[in-house]
Amino acid sequence: MPSALPISRRAAAPAAAGPAAVPIDLALQGGGAHGAFTWGVLDRLLQDDGPALDGLSGTSAGALNAAVLASGFADGGRAGARAALQAFWLDLSASGGCFGPAPMLRNAGAGGAQDLSAFNLDGLPLYNWTQQWLNSFSPYQFNPFDLNPLRDVVARHVNAAALRKGPLALFVTATEVRSGQPRIFTRKDLSVDALLASACLPQLFKAVTIDGHAYWDGGYSGNPALWPLIYETRALDLLLVRINPLLRPELPDTAAEISDRVNEITFNAGLMAEMRAIGFVQRLIAQGKLDDQQYKNLRLHEIADDAGLAPLHPSSKLNTDRRFLERLRDLGHAAADAWLRAHRADLGRRATLHPDRFLQPR
């Protein structure tokens, strides 16, 4: 990772006069099945004539969304990207076990219940037994043949040749196991293995080996990584699609709750560090100590729905029930629609998210 994380020494392109022409980068968080929320956000953004997508950075489920979108976009523009995302998530729901080794849990949930908490798995005896079993064995023991149903799903919906010819910059983050450093895969070297590496939780799957290097989930080093967008694209507007909570009002007091919260904090740490660095550079530019023609003064934005996703326990990230994924899609679609109505005119003009607000939730 570059030492001057939020700085780009390339002069950024000036913002266009209207929002439809403003280039925008998307940063997509990971979160297992909760990535269906991002599917809904992307579907709504793609329905809009603007903004103009420039670059995509994603981790884990965010990387899958980014790669599928870019594949569809390369072949069919916005309509092709929307169709590709829908096909991918519906295929994933039919395959089962894509975000964990327990496909028997994928259809758990209380039918057509209005409360999203009905799709949590933590109250199921089978889920709790499975978690205890996983805590006793590693994937090198319980899955020696490294079976992963996600591989076939990704292979059906990500076209590496289309990515290379497509117009969108793409960055996928994985974590190199031995060094602990992020590895950024671009559309030039992206593969099915790279996407599996970005989504590889070490408690559930063997490390993914690429060119002699072993990789785990990219969330340990960036969820998602922002710096590739800062260095490698022209856009000054950066929209984060966030699905992981920054704030949990309740204090975890069981072993499972403590473990879940530790994972959430760990997976947010890289993003928070980058936000802190971006805020520092923004203050220096505002004070005239840095030249905004040499250093990017980003306009940050965010789409999230903490209240809507609040009923969900981390266990629901394994639940690929189609009804659940479509409910999450609808939440994401509504959140993006609300954001566009409130902030479309801000694109190219002003930020709608300040790093300090992000780092100090109330």
Tell me the pLDDT band of 203, cut-offs 50, 70 and 90. confident
For residue range 58-98, list pLDDT tens digits in order.
999 999 999 999 999 999 999 999 999 999 999 999 987 78
58: β partners: 28, 172
Q: Is the pLDDT of residue 14 over 70?
A: no
Q: What is the average pLDDT across 169-183? A: 97
Q: What percent of the chain has pLDDT over 70?
A: 89
Q: What is the DSSP string of 79-115?
A: HHHHHHHHHHHHHHHHH--TTSS-GGGTT-S-TT-SS
What does the pLDDT read at residue 16? 38
Tokens at 105, concatenated: 């849990």
For the full predicted model, state whether its pTM sits above 0.75: yes
What does the pLDDT read at residue 37? 98
Q: What is the average pLDDT across 39-59? A: 93
Whether omega before 23 lies within 30 degrees of 0, making that bond cis, reads no
Amino acid in the structure at residue 255: A
What does the pLDDT read at residue 113? 53
For residue range 219-255, list pLDDT tens digits in order.
999 999 999 999 999 999 999 999 998 888 889 888 8
Q: Is the pLDDT of residue 11 over 50?
A: no
Q: What is the average pLDDT across 149-153? A: 93
Q: What is the average pLDDT across 32-54? A: 93
Half-sphere exposure of 200 (CA within 13 A, CB side): 28
Q: Is the pLDDT of residue 199 over 60?
A: yes
With CA atoms as reference, report the closest residue to 212 among 187, 173, 163, 179. Answer: 179
Mean pLDDT of the chain: 87
Query: CA-to-CA distance for 66 and 351, rounded, in angstroms?
Result: 23
User: Any alpha helices (H) in the chain, and if so which ranges?
Assistant: 35-47, 61-95, 125-136, 139-142, 149-157, 160-165, 192-198, 227-232, 255-286, 306-309, 322-343, 355-359
What does the pLDDT read at residue 101? 53
Q: What is the average pLDDT across 184-193? A: 95
Tell me the pLDDT band of 20, cut-offs 50, 70 and 90. low
Tokens at 186, concatenated: 């671009």
Q: Are 119 and 319 in contact (CB under 8 A)?
A: yes
With CA atoms as reference, report the closest residue to 31 among 240, 173, 242. Answer: 242
3-state secondary structure 26-81: EEECCCHHHHHHHHHHHHHHHHCCCCEEEEEEEECHHHHHHHHHHHHHHHHHHHHH
Q: What is the average pLDDT across 281-294? A: 87
Q: What percent of the chain has pLDDT over 90?
A: 59
Q: What is the average pLDDT across 153-181? A: 95
Q: Is the pLDDT of residue 187 over 60?
A: yes
Q: Which range is least confidently modeled, 12-26, 141-155, 193-207?
A: 12-26
Q: How many CB atoms lie within 10 A of CB 147?
A: 11
Tell me the pLDDT band of 358, cut-offs 50, 70 and 90. low
Q: Which range is least confidently modeled, 128-142, 161-175, 220-234, 338-352?
A: 128-142
Q: Is the pLDDT of residue 5 over 60?
A: no
What does the pLDDT read at residue 23? 94
For residue range 305-349, list pLDDT tens digits in order.
999 999 999 889 989 999 999 999 999 999 999 999 999 999 999
Most confident range, picked from 12-21, 108-117, 302-311: 302-311
Backbone angles phi, psi at 13, to 5 degrees: -65, 140
Q: Is the pLDDT of residue 13 over 50?
A: no
